[in-house]
Structure 1
Amino acid sequence: MDLNYIILKNILEYLDEGIHVIDIEGKTILYNKSMEKIEGIEPENILGKQLLELFPSLDEKTSTLLTVIKNGRPIVNRSQTYLNYKGKKISSVNTTIPLFNDNDLIGAVEIGKDITKIKKLSEELIELRNKLSNREKLKSEDKIKKYTFDHIIGKSESIKKAIRIAKKASNSSSSVLIYGETGTGKELFSQSIHYSGIRSNKPFIAQNCAALPEQLLEGLLFGTVKGGFTGAIDRPGLFEQANGGTLLLDEIDSMGLILQSKLLRVLQEGYIRRVGGLNDIPIDVKIIATTNQTPLESIKSGNLRKDLYFRLNVIYIDIPPLKKRIGDLKLLINEFIKKFNFKLEKDVWMISREVMDLFNNYSWPGNIRELENMIEGAMNFVENDEHVLHIEHFPDYISDFKNIRKRESKNDFDIEIKNSLQKTINDIEKKIIERELTQNNHNISQTARNLNIKRQTLQHKIKRYNLK
């Protein structure tokens, strides 16, 4: 018995991706459990049978497997929508590869990932946006929260400098790149640039680049053409919807590098082409891109193309973290107390001196968002006749804020070497990973980017050091 064959068969059987292999005649010879879940058909009902017998919605032109059998060339990351064996509409992203024995084509293998739910959600999002854009302008304006520079609270020099640059950007059509840690207010700055500037009466549309797979994000940004690929319909993308206005691309360094190159072309040439289309559509859109990792770190880690960075970085805004503008803490606290007094029908006037001392000694890894959530949480525990936020209104761990600051200010490598060198190195590595996880609210992807290691490597180390 061939051990290699047994190992390979078991690996293919339990992969998360669906695996479907056909021979040169179009008959199925391998079909794993993941593909069974996607297409709703048991292996015994498909093995040895012709592909088109079981999938009547496909033909020799629309089936990626049969196309590869016909021309002998691979198809990479092709979006496909079809009816499965049970008549259910399925959307997937497939990579299909020809199989050769020496120079003879003997079959094809398809690796598929089910994106049905994600595609449905993205289509619903697009439809919702289209409905909103078709409503009366006054109605939609009343329902959408618009931020301007008046909403940015702070008197520290670092925040005032960021505001000065942003105000210059609001009256320019140039691209803007904003860097700021999670929770510092990047969208607040982005909306302020738009609604305080020359494009304020035009659309403002925001899209998180990390929220969708690259294939769906491309269609969402540039639009699609009916017949361009299986299941495609005529639909304008966000560039067309934002024409004349502003498009915010949040977490730009999470966008795939191939799509980044297509975005670069759009920015350079001033027109888009819908996915599957042939016509060039001129657009006039101001781009604001944001990242919570410094752009140079993103380039170094391979998450951001250098040429796209140079094209976006016409106006650069660095939003300071809260720990570098502690002098603004009191102003922000007063603003949030005022906000939640109205929202929660309370009558709070201030926080106690004890709580303020603890706040001043905390590094605020979640920045302004963390502070706002903490004030809101405390005000939920205030009685109607109470007017001051005391320590008992906050979570128990607030008492450790002073100790946390002391530990953070201490040298990360201040570890007494009592054990072997390897044990000491492991202790240092564990401490660094633990700190980064805390600062990124246990976001694995962001922490991996900050540490410049692969996500899988970080997950292995988290398990190794028992950090969950």
Structure 2
Amino acid sequence: MEIKYFDALIQAIDIINDGIHIVDASGKIVYYNISAKHLDEIDVDKAIGRHILEVYPSLTFETSTLLRVLRTGKPIYNVEQNFVNYKGDKISTLNSTIPIFYNNKVVGALEVSRNITKVRELSEKIVSLQNELYEKNENHGKLSKPSAKYTFLDIIGHNKEIQKLKALGLKAAISDSPVMVAGSTGTGKELFVQSIHNSGNRKYKPFIAQNCAALPPNLLESILFGSVKGSFTGAENRPGLFELANGGTLFLDEINSMPLELQTKLLRVIQDGRVRRVGSSNTIDVDVRIISAINTDINKVIETKQLRQDLFFRLNVITLVIPELSKRKEDIPSLADHFIQKYNEKCNKFFSGISREVLDIFLDYNWPGNVRELEHAIESAISLYDGEIIREEHLPFQFKNYQSDNSYTSDSSAIQPLSQAIERVERDIILSALEQTSYNISKAAKLINVPRQTLQYKIKKLDIPS
């Protein structure tokens, strides 16, 4: 019976999308799953029993994450590794590696590798295209038109706090001081960021945005600071985003997700006004205004050690905290009208507004997805239906029969179908997980213990704003 369980476990490991390697204490491969075979394009039979450096000659004792763990006996997590396979293809993986102990001795190591080659290639292409764009459009030190599209006129709302923030944002635009924008997901942080750039002296210079949570640490480092040829396997001479943003603005979104070791390097660049490409000993002078954003409570980023204290005070010279939509509900009618006009034009429809019933629902709703969720609700109604007025039956699932106490109306004389009840529970659980993880789908999937693809399917099926 134990053998059957073992066979089932091996079959399960073989269908996992990530590559799995196991080596013994000498560094020889003892297990190699099917995903690893597809990733490295090496036959399993040819890999088993051979030393890791024999199978991966572009790696060394220093760059191989498996050999490093064998040497130190300490696990490593989410470390980028770059190598060239036997076909000459440049491969980038994100590795988590743990030692295997027996009688307090390291007898091997197990590694899980995720292929991020396409992510790296796409990121580098974006950087290269941005570089080409700025070189072609540059005219006597100015771009032909602003590279950020929003201005303060695009920020809709009569709420006193929003009006105050717009006034502060205009004053912040005049200076070159760093700005930190805080607010929950969907509140419109980037609108304020782009508006500040477009209202200042740098508006005809580059505006470049980078989400710090979107890339693994090593890749983010080379994207931000650039690289020189040979600094790592497959590296080329490439400028980083700091160089591309020279003279303009660099927007670092979700900066509280940046690894602490990379925060140290960022602090040095801000202090010195110089950047050093990965693998280079030379520095390059840069003149960049930093605007950053966080999607959590600004008072907790230091307490929870998400940001270094010295970096936080460098970036938090000017602070704008964007209120949630639930705290500015008087703006809902104006925002709804704005989005109706926007999606009428996109969908060639002729809606003139929302019904009184829909307005009441909107005013009662707690808006976990903020302005973005309102926009998605309007977009959904206009895309799927025809008419002059958006009515309750046009709204996505979460608004139907909604009550302000976060429960759904129930009629004891009308039993709800089981499938609808299950969907309602599923929706509540998924929304709660998304809110707890700041709408990070991978983290939410782990929180509720389902595959990421399953969660994405459920989000789409249940019409959950993401």
Asked if TM exceeds 0.5, the reply is yes
Instruction: Assess if the C-alpha contact under 8 Å between 1:147 and 1:188 holds in 2.
Output: yes
Match of 2:317 in 1: 314
Structure 1 segments unaligned to the other structure (5+ residues): 409-432
Q: Report the alpha carbon displacement of residue 314 of structure 1 after superposing the two structures with TM.
A: 0.5
Amino acid at match of 2:179: V
Instruction: Assess if the C-alpha contact under 8 Å between 1:60 and 1:66 holds in 2.
Output: no
Match of 1:413 in 2: none
Counterpart mapping for 1:187-226 below 5 A: 187-226=190-229
Amino acid at match of 1:387: E
Cα 1:157–1:41 change in 2 (3 A) is same
Counterpart mapping for 1:25-424 below 5 A: 28-33=28-33, 35-49=36-50, 54-55=55-56, 58=58, 64=64, 79-93=80-94, 112-137=113-138, 146-381=149-384, 383=386, 386-395=387-396, 397-401=398-402, 403=403, 405-407=404-406
Amino acid at match of 2:23: V
Determine whether 1:438 maps to 2:431. Answer: yes
Percent sequence identity is 43
CA RMSD of aligned residues (A): 4.3
Cα 1:318–1:436 change in 2 (3 A) is farther
Instruction: Assess if the C-alpha contact under 8 Å between 2:66 and 2:110 holds in 1.
Output: no
Instruction: Assess if the C-alpha contact under 8 Å between 1:437 and 1:444 holds in 2.
Output: no
Residue by residue over 1:235-271, the C-alpha shift from the partner in whole angstroms, topping out at 9 and shown as x without a partner, is: 0000000011111111111111211222122212221
Residue by residue over 1:347-371, the C-alpha shift from the partner in whole angstroms, topping out at 9 and shown as x without a partner, is: 3322222221221111221111111
Instruction: Assess if the C-alpha contact under 8 Å between 2:147 and 2:203 holds in 1.
Output: no
State the distance in 2 between where 1:185 and 1:109 align: 43
Amino acid at match of 1:45: K
Once structures 1 and 2 are overlaid, which stretch shifts more, 232-241 or 13-22?
Answer: 13-22
* Larger Rg over CA atoms: 1
Instruction: Assess if the C-alpha contact under 8 Å between 2:229 and 2:235 holds in 1.
Output: yes
Q: Report the alpha carbon displacement of residue 30 of structure 1 after superposing the two structures with TM.
A: 2.7
State the distance in 1 between where 2:43 and 2:436 align: 36
Instruction: Assess if the C-alpha contact under 8 Å between 1:224 and 1:236 holds in 2.
Output: yes
Cα 1:141–1:250 change in 2 (3 A) is farther
Residue by residue over 1:324-361, the C-alpha shift from the partner in whole angstroms, topping out at 9 and shown as x without a partner, is: 11111122122222222332333332222222122111
Cα 1:397–1:36 change in 2 (3 A) is closer
Q: Report the alpha carbon displacement of residue 316 of structure 1 after superposing the two structures with TM.
A: 0.5
Instruction: Assess if the C-alpha contact under 8 Å between 1:177 and 1:317 holds in 2.
Output: yes
Q: Report the alpha carbon displacement of residue 461 of structure 1 after superposing the two structures with TM.
A: 11
State the distance in 2 between where 1:352 and 1:172 align: 44
Equivalent residue for 2:448, pick from 454, 459, 466: 459
Cα 1:131–1:325 change in 2 (3 A) is same
Cα 1:459–1:72 change in 2 (3 A) is closer
Q: Report the alpha carbon displacement of residue 172 of structure 1 after superposing the two structures with TM.
A: 1.1
Q: Report the alpha carbon displacement of residue 73 of structure 1 after superposing the two structures with TM.
A: 11
Once structures 1 and 2 are overlaid, which stretch shifts more, 392-401 or 311-320?
Answer: 392-401
TM-score of the superposed pair, with normalisation by structure 2: 0.77
Match of 2:414 in 1: none
Structure 2 segments unaligned to the other structure (5+ residues): 408-425, 452-457, 460-466
Instruction: Assess if the C-alpha contact under 8 Å between 1:323 and 1:363 holds in 2.
Output: yes
TM-score of the superposed pair, with normalisation by structure 1: 0.76
State the distance in 2 between where 1:167 and 1:349 align: 33
Instruction: Assess if the C-alpha contact under 8 Å between 1:270 and 1:282 holds in 2.
Output: yes
Amino acid at match of 1:225: V
Amino acid at match of 2:437: S
Instruction: Assess if the C-alpha contact under 8 Å between 2:81 and 2:95 holds in 1.
Output: yes
Amino acid at match of 1:188: L
State the distance in 2 between where 1:44 and 1:275 align: 37
SS in structure 2 opposite 1:226? coil
- Provide the aligned length of Structure 1 versus Structure 2: 427
Cα 1:435–1:101 change in 2 (3 A) is closer
State the distance in 2 between where 1:255 and 1:194 align: 23
State the distance in 1 between where 2:130 and 2:307 align: 28
Once structures 1 and 2 are overlaid, which stretch shifts more, 314-323 or 371-380?
Answer: 371-380
Q: Report the alpha carbon displacement of residue 282 of structure 1 after superposing the two structures with TM.
A: 1.6
Cα 1:338–1:97 change in 2 (3 A) is closer
Amino acid at match of 2:438: Q
